[in-house]
Amino acid sequence: MEHDTHDIDARRRHFLARSSAVSIGVLALPLAACGDGVVTDAQAAEKIDDIAGGNARYAIDTSIRSPNQDSRVRTLVMHYTAQSLAESIASLTDPQRQVSAHYLVPDAADAGAAFRVFELVPEPQRAWHAGVSYWQGDRMLNAGSIGIEIVNPGFPAADDALPVMSRRWVPYPDAQVAVFGALAADVIARHQIPPHKVVGHSDVAPGRKFDPGPLFPWQTLYERYRVGAWPDADALAYYRASRPYRGDVAELQSKLLAYGYDAPQTGVLDARTVDVVSAFQMHFRAARYDGMPDVETVAILDALLEKYFRRSRALNRQTMPGAASPAGGEKGSDEWPLQAPR
């Protein structure tokens, strides 16, 4: 952390030194060898000055702030790296790979020391962790999300061709859960991320991504750290008793879309729908995540819709034609400027 600050300060000093050199009129001083066709830094600076008109000087006044603002971060996405710590660091910092995350959580602490969580990308910057993705109306989630990568092998490479239920998933050690639970709680508090926008990579890219896997401790995170969404037991019992799934795939698809998934609305249990159901089950129902819908799956989904989207029990039992994305989107655009419509 200290080093980062010093580096930035050093760069800033360098920049300021160059800027002031330009403004006191040493533009003619060549900073690079001067030959035909070679533009020196000084000449380039002169050109920029011309474009700006030379006297467009201004200062930023920060004394007045508007309360009408919020964080650009809407979503928290959890991942596993499927690599060792050393390999993860190498991948997530390799310019060729073009992948990164805001945080990297190791699988163990340094001997006798605290867990060292790596901040690979500062939170105001965009990390490249989500790829092609969708959640609650947002596509390409990198722009508005924080990504946490957790060192965990996922499953052995030999299991790659097996159905997801047959893969030997590797559990997360308790000490590591405590670290990413606390970290996630901090991120959520800083950016006011609602529970239903704390998701796994598999939720936002079903079928393409399986991380953080079926052994990710979502229930523990909810109960111990208030991280993410989880259905209430009494609502779950109510919906379970009402047998909410009798083979109506269109209704299931509209509920999955209403919760946030990029669920097809085809009315048939096609491969993409199976992928979405499997992603939902991996998150909320780790006992069975083969993508086959059943009463338990839809009971959980109904309980979540009631809790986080205020869907009434009567509505949850009906189809929800063309279920819209959850409300609470963009503010401002319709309110300004204050002109009467013509």
Q: Is 149 a known active-site residue?
A: yes
Segment interacting with Zn ion (CB under 5 A) among 14-22, 58-66, 107-115, 208-216: 208-216
Catalytic residue among 119, 123, 149, 223: 149
Q: Which two tokens stand for residue 148?
A: 């946490």
Instruction: Determine the Cα angle at 260 with ends 258 and 262, to 5°.
Output: 100
Cα-based distances in Å from 295 to 244, 288, 300, 304:
6, 12, 9, 14
Place of tokens 């946490």: 148
CB 80 within 8 A of CB 151: yes
Q: Is the peptide bond before 337 cis (omega within 30 degrees of 0)?
A: yes
d(CA 237, CA 296): 10
Shortest spacing between CB 77 and Zn ion, in angstroms? 7
Segment interacting with Zn ion (CB under 5 A) among 57-65, 110-118, 184-192, 196-204: 196-204
Q: What Rg value do the Cα atoms of the chain yield, rounded?
A: 25
Is 79 a binding residue for Zn ion by CB under 5 A? The answer is: yes
How big is the site for Zn ion, counted in residues (CB under 5 A)? Answer: 3
Which residues are 323's β-sheet partners? none
Is 201 a binding residue for Zn ion by CB under 5 A? The answer is: yes
Segment interacting with Zn ion (CB under 5 A) among 161-169, 192-200, 206-214, 306-314: 206-214
Choose which of 107, 203, 211, 251 interacts with Zn ion (CB under 5 A): 211
Of 282, 249, 283, 279, nearest to 265 by C-alpha is: 249
> Would you say 74 or 201 has its CB closer to Zn ion?
201
Shortest spacing between CB 109 and Zn ion, in angstroms? 23
Is 203 a binding residue for Zn ion by CB under 5 A? The answer is: no
Shortest spacing between CB 254 and Zn ion, in angstroms? 27
Window 106 to 145, contacts with Zn ion (CB under 5 A) = none
Residues that bind Zn ion (CB under 5 A): 79, 201, 211
